[in-house]
């Protein structure tokens, strides 16, 4: 059996997954309904600030985004994973719009609660990147993903790949396996993403993990 790039690296970027016209249409929807973006505050070194439309609100106010998440994005994530996937069962976290406005915003190093993720970039004028560790390094560090928080500085000095996704690009990430973070590189501009979490069909979830994840999220 041949190993795919996705299996080797834990990610795959699909440049221009959406046409410029489609990207602009979705991006304009977010701009027109800015008030739906809810501010998430930074909590004592546990997370950085950002803005979010959670899954409940997204289903109500951005049905086109939900349709993409449950349709074309699921299809391509399934193809990369090589397994049947479904949206993560927690409807609030399964689909989100994430929005970053300055360098102090972003996501610290972490593993996702969902096994696989789709990050569809709508805007990225502040040169935001998704930075990933290799699957091998991630495996070494995996035993206590949420205990990684004190070691953010150490992780930043390891060998990483910075994936710069532009407007319309789709990143499929094995987010439950490769440790990653969201890094904004300048104060001007903005980064807006549709973020979707998928799990294997029939996956059993750990209650403790779910409890922690819900507290660390918004």
Would you tell me which residues interact with Fe ion (CB under 5 A)? 112, 175
Q: How far apart are CA 193 and CA 109, in angstroms?
A: 18
Nearer to Fe ion, 25 or 45 (CB): 45
Q: How far is the CB of 186 from Fe ion (least distance, A)?
A: 21
Return d(Cα 160, Cα 178) in angstroms, integer.
11
Q: What does the alpha-carbon distance between residue 87 and residue 43 come to, in Å, rounded to a whole number? A: 27
With tokens 């795919």, the residue in question is 4
* Minimum CB distance to Fe ion smaller for 22 or for 134: 134
CB closer to Fe ion, 145 vs 175: 175
Q: The tokens 């104060």 sit on which residue?
A: 187
Residue number of the CB atom closest to Fe ion: 112
> What is the phi/psi pair of residue 85, to 5°?
-115, 165
Name the minimum Å distance from CB 197 to Fe ion: 8
Q: Which is nearer to Fe ion, 168 or 175 (CB)?
A: 175
End-to-end CA distance of the chain: 41
Q: How far is the CB of 25 from Fe ion (least distance, A)?
A: 26
Q: Which is nearer to Fe ion, 106 or 175 (CB)?
A: 175
CB of 116 to Fe ion, least distance (A): 11
DSSP state letters, 58-110: HHHH-HHHHHHHHTHHHHHHHHHHTS-EEE-S-HHHHEEEEEE-STTBEEEEE
CA distances for 190 relative to 50, 80, 82, 193, angstroms: 11, 29, 33, 10
Q: Please, which residue, 112 or 190, has the CB nearer to Fe ion? A: 112
Provide, rounded to whole angstroms, the least separation between the CB of residue 40 and Fe ion: 14
Largest distance between two CA atoms of the chain? 49
* Min separation Cβ 42 and Fe ion, Å: 16
């Amino acid at each position: 059996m041949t190993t795919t790039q996705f299996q080797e690296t834990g990610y795959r970027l699909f440049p221009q997954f959406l046409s410029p016209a489609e990207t602009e249409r979705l991006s304009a929807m977010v701009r027109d309904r800015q008030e739906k973006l809810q501010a998430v505050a930074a909590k004592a070194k546990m997370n950085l600030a950002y803005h979010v439309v959670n899954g409940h609100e997204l289903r109500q106010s951005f049905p086109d985004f939900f349709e993409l998440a449950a349709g074309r994005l699921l299809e391509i994530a399934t193809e990369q994973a090589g397994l049947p996937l479904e949206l993560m069962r927690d409807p609030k976290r399964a689909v989100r719009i994430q929005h970053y406005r300055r360098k102090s915003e972003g996501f610290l190093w972490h593993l996702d609660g969902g096994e696989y993720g789709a990050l569809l970039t709508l805007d990225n004028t502040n040169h935001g990147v998704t930075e990933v560790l290799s699957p091998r390094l991630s495996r070494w560090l995996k035993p206590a993903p949420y205990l990684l928080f004190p070691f953010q500085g150490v992780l930043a000095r390891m060998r990483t790949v910075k994936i710069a996704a532009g407007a319309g690009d789709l990143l499929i990430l094995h987010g439950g396996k490769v440790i990653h973070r969201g890094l904004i590189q300048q104060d001007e501009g903005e980064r807006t993403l549709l973020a979707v979490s998928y799990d294997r069909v029939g996956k059993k979830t750990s209650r403790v993990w779910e409890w922690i994840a819900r507290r660390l999220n918004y």
